[in-house]
Amino acid sequence: MPAITNPTALILVTGANGFLGTWIVRQLLEKGHRVRAAVRSMDKGLYLRELFESHSGNLELVIIGDMTEAGAFANAVRNVDGIIHTASPVTTFADDPNEVIQPAMKGVIGILESARDHGARVSRIVVTSSSAAIMDTEDEEITVSELDWNDRRVQECEALGRQASGLSKYSASKTLAERAAWEYVQRNRGEIAWDLTAINPPYIFGPTIHNVETPASLNSSSKRFYNALVNNDFDGVQPMERPGHGWVDERDVAAAHIKALETPDAGGERIIVSAGEWVWQDIINTALSLPNSIYRPHREVTGPEEVKRRFITFSPDKRERILGLKLRSMEECVGDILVDFAGRGVVSLSGLAGTADVKLRSFRDQG
């Protein structure tokens, strides 16, 4: 299976200005790779240039505009050795399901087509999928693996259209985009020299290094974290209720993408990257238990114990066996997020344990 073995290989990262994309760019640069960062517009790219000034010789920007346009990635893929495709709409507030499904599918097919037609040097493509493309049940205590597909949410969107839940629309976008990618590879097997890996994370949390100037402009998962810890707003669930089925630190998800580029056996695989189940109360308890933590919720936020704590468990097998990737603890993740928030002046915290050394920008408003 082809993989990226050259330490100075040129890697195209889409969604490079996003929450996850910026961490992937950072880790690639720190490993010595050259990075071509794909963004929609120059203003989004300039922030990356500033953030990674010390790696300026290894960072190129490419403006792709809207990836739903035909040929959006045609120039971006030229002369790159590998591709990490993170770009996809991330929201649970779509009205028409096609607001998320179409960009997700057109984006992934667009980059695979461009790689086939113009990416002569490409040897591996890693796409960011999601656990939302895997689990198709909510209420059973089962272990799911990469053999599972979330077709239930797709069917819900087909049946209910705009009336389907926001989560179903997002989940359908991830399922359909990832399925489309594997089908594309299958159909074009004779014409491509590269192979594909999908990374399937659940909720991703971690300190933010992308360009965030207000809490309102945080990416979807960070906004939930912010609202929960800073505003005691748990997005319609109780602190002891299950908000999702897994969580993982974004720096580990970034590392998983890079390991997937480099590991021959990752070719042709979907790989779940999950650190385990969680409820908001776990995160609050973790925040309170950190050494020297002065984090205090605005009010007591314990919930009834009888709430739904039934979780789907995600198989760790491929992540451990193929990628050999160990994951950060909740303590490290939460500690570093609080350090990030504190650095932005959001909550008054000091003396927290944490290892974040991220470049911070202040939130302009605290609302």
Which residues of this protein are in contact with ligand NAP, per CB under 6 A?
Answer: 15, 17-21, 40, 44, 66-68, 86-90, 103, 128, 130, 174, 201, 203-204, 219-221
Closer residue to ligand NAP in complex, CB, 259/349: 259
Main-chain phi, psi angles of 197, to 5 degrees? -130, 140
Shortest distance, position 36 Cβ to ligand NAP, whole Å: 14
Closer residue to ligand NAP in complex, CB, 16/284: 16
Sequence-separated (6 or more) residues with CB below 8 Å from residue 183: none
**In the 3-class helix/strand/coil scheme, how is 197-250 assigned residue by residue?**
EEEECCEEECCCCCCCCCHHHCCHHHHHHHHHHHHCCCCCCCCCCCCCCCEEEH
Sequence-separated (6 or more) residues with CB below 8 Å from residue 199: 126, 127, 128, 129, 253, 256, 257, 260, 271, 273
Residue 132 is classified by DSSP as G
Closer residue to ligand NAP in complex, CB, 219/281: 219
Shortest distance, position 318 Cβ to ligand NAP, whole Å: 16
Closer residue to ligand NAP in complex, CB, 26/44: 44
- Residue 162: CB atoms within 10 Å: 12
Shortest distance, position 292 Cβ to ligand NAP, whole Å: 28
Closer residue to ligand NAP in complex, CB, 201/215: 201
Closer residue to ligand NAP in complex, CB, 124/224: 224
Shortest distance, position 226 Cβ to ligand NAP, whole Å: 13
Q: For ligand NAP, which residue has the nearest CB? A: 18
Dihedral of CA atoms 180, 182, 188, 194 in degrees, nearest 10, equals: 130
Closer residue to ligand NAP in complex, CB, 16/349: 16
Closer residue to ligand NAP in complex, CB, 336/349: 336
Alpha-carbon span 228 to 235, nearest angstrom: 8
Shortest distance, position 367 Cβ to ligand NAP, whole Å: 20
Q: Could you tell me the two tokens for 59? A: 């960072």
Alpha-carbon span 351 to 335, nearest angstrom: 10
Shortest distance, position 7 Cβ to ligand NAP, whole Å: 25
Shortest distance, position 190 Cβ to ligand NAP, whole Å: 28
Tokens 């796409």 found at: 127
Shortest distance, position 211 Cβ to ligand NAP, whole Å: 9
Alpha-carbon span 117 to 119, nearest angstrom: 6
